[in-house]
Amino acid sequence: MIKFNKFYVTTPIYYVNDVPHIGHAYTTIAADIIARWNRIKGKEVFFLTGLDEHGQKVAEAALKMGLTPQEFVDSLAPRFKEAWKKLNISNDDFIRTTEERHQNVVIEIIKKIYENGDIYRGEYEGLYCVTDERFWTELQLVDGKCPWCGKEVRKLKEETYFFKLSKYQQKLLDFYNQNPDFIVPETRKNEMISRIKEGLKDVSITRTTVEWAIPFPFDKEHYLYVWVDALINYVSALDYPGEKFKKFWPADIELMAKEINWFHSVIWPAMLFSVGIETPKKNFIHGWWTVEGEKMSKSVGNVVDPIEMVNKYGADAFRYYLFREVPFGQDGDFSEKSMINRINSELADALGNLVNRVLVLVEKNFDNSVPKPCGGQNVKKFALNIVKAVDKSIGELQFHNALNDIFFLVNESNKYINKNKPWEIEDKEILGGVLYNLLESLRFISILLYPFMPETANKIRKQLGIEKKFSFDGLKWEVLKPGTKIKREKILFEKINK
């Protein structure tokens, strides 16, 4: 089957022990940007997100609330869906690991790994963190506690079934060498290589003490470890091994934060090696967000609620800030004050003011109609170069660079107005040419902004009188037809009183 025109992007499935926060939103918006850009480039996109609903942490949280685990996850799933709707997330599917379609595929994959001789019975003893659902060694602990969450660990000893991860140590190293872009950024790849070279141990994949999980198909007293179950979502959502799987797999990009790199870049490909399924093309590992310089914490009360941010500032402003403020892949620090500054200076003063100024001039001088083009070769060349730069940056997942380039076009358009002073031009043909160049620049800006700020992009398009959907093919000069009626509306962004 021909796959060149398909694109499959995923977020991790989020652990549903609490409501969504900025970290969930960040990864999901990033996936949405990628999905929207590939759609306007004419690709058939499958964008997956969802929830990881099994495990001890969920069972304990449910017990505290007097609910069954299923009732608990059913109460939280709508909160995630609401957040993604508010943030204009364009996902094609929302997978939950409690769904039958997922569990059936998990059993099928586990059976194949078992039949390949890569699962065996044994006994495991280790230090287990319930919060992060993983084992640690003594050396990895910080002050005797979990290095991720800082909470106490439990010493567990139980019968288990192991996956022969050690069998794939050299194959993983060879795979990384043959596929240097599999883990990005390179620092994250080097971390995995270093850990693998220390020696891979076989991993425990079942529990006897955690029953809120998928039953292990070969022993009724065992249940699958939550991470083994969760990773398989990327193929279960494609109805493995059916036609959708054949069409979209392998994933083009799997996005995740750095704390789950090990599971996705070591354990997941090793499982796929065992089954004989192709690996994803790229794992992109991004950083963490702090808030005003401090780690996010419910006890401190500084957890950023994406729904609250949307209600206060709008989805597009929040989306814009997250990917303008910090290079994607690095750690970032969230500051509401910094977001307000960007809204006021960049969205209100630069972009909103540009759209309003241009449309007012067209209203006043050309009776709300697009004038005829005249000249503008330098403007055309500049805009087309911006398109190339943005396309390259998004392709490399350098979203801050893409936004820098788009706002370079915004700022240059404002300079173009100030330099040409259309309010002083008496020659109607020359004036029309200047305004046409500005209208075409606005059209380019609307298309380029669409993946990042879909509401704003649509508002600009509507005011320009354009009915066609966004398309990369539209990024050619002189597409806007003279005589098209513009429809100036309310200014895009109001300044916020600090």
Q: Are residues 144 and 243 in the same domain?
A: yes
Q: Are residues 51 and 125 in the same domain?
A: yes
Q: Are residues 111 and 235 in the same domain?
A: yes
Q: Are residues 95 and 186 in the same domain?
A: yes
φ/ψ of 360, rounded to 5, equals -65, -40
- Tell me whether residue 375 is in a domain: yes
| Beta pairing partners, 160 | 122
State how far the Cα of 222 lies from the Cα of 224, in Å rounded to an integer. 7
Q: How far is CA 155 from CA 126, 136, 235, 290, 427, in A?
A: 6, 10, 33, 31, 83
Q: Are residues 276 and 381 in the same domain?
A: no
Question: Taking all residues of the chain, what is their mean pLDDT, rounded to a whole number?
Answer: 94
Q: Are 448 and 387 in contact (CB under 8 A)?
A: yes
* Residue 212: count of CB within 10 angstroms of its CB: 23
Q: Are residues 218 and 361 in the same domain?
A: no
pLDDT digits (tens, 9 = 90+) for 128-149: 887 777 777 777 788 888 887 8
pTM over 0.95: no
- Tell me whether residue 315 is in a domain: no
Containing structural domain, residue 160: 6-286
Q: Are residues 271 and 341 in the same domain?
A: no
- Tell me whether residue 388 is in a domain: yes
* Residue 185: count of CB within 10 angstroms of its CB: 17
> Which distant-in-sequence residues (6+ apart) come within 8 Å of 156 by Cβ?
124, 125, 126, 127, 128, 135, 209
Domain boundary among 286, 312, 328: 286
Q: How far apart are the first and last CA of the chain?
A: 56
- Tell me whether residue 16 is in a domain: yes
Domain boundary among 253, 286, 319: 286
Q: Are residues 355 and 213 in the same domain?
A: no
Q: Are residues 56 and 132 in the same domain?
A: yes
> Which distant-in-sequence residues (6+ apart) come within 8 Å of 219 by Cβ?
121, 161, 206
- Tell me whether residue 494 is in a domain: no
* Residue 152: count of CB within 10 angstroms of its CB: 12
- Would you give per-residue pLDDT tens digits along the chain (498 residues)? 445 699 999 999 999 877 789 999 999 999 999 999 999 999 999 999 999 999 988 998 999 999 999 999 999 999 999 999 999 999 999 999 999 999 999 999 999 999 999 999 998 777 888 777 777 777 778 888 888 788 888 887 789 999 999 999 999 999 999 999 999 999 999 999 999 999 999 999 999 988 999 999 999 999 999 999 999 999 999 999 999 999 999 999 999 999 999 999 999 999 999 999 999 999 999 999 999 888 877 767 788 899 999 999 999 999 999 999 999 999 999 999 999 999 999 999 999 999 999 999 999 999 999 999 998 899 999 999 999 999 999 999 999 999 999 999 999 999 999 999 999 999 999 999 999 999 999 999 999 999 999 999 999 999 999 988 999 999 999 999 999 999 999 999 999 986
Q: How many domains does the chain contain in total?
A: 2
CATH number at residue 271: 3.40.50.620
Residue in 174, 160, 175, 165 with CA at minimum distance from that of residue 209 = 160
Q: Are residues 96 and 158 in the same domain?
A: yes
State how far the Cα of 54 lies from the Cα of 268, in Å rounded to an integer. 18
pLDDT digits (tens, 9 = 90+) for 72-90: 999 999 999 999 999 999 9
Q: How would you classify the pairing of strands 93-96 and 134-136? A: unpaired
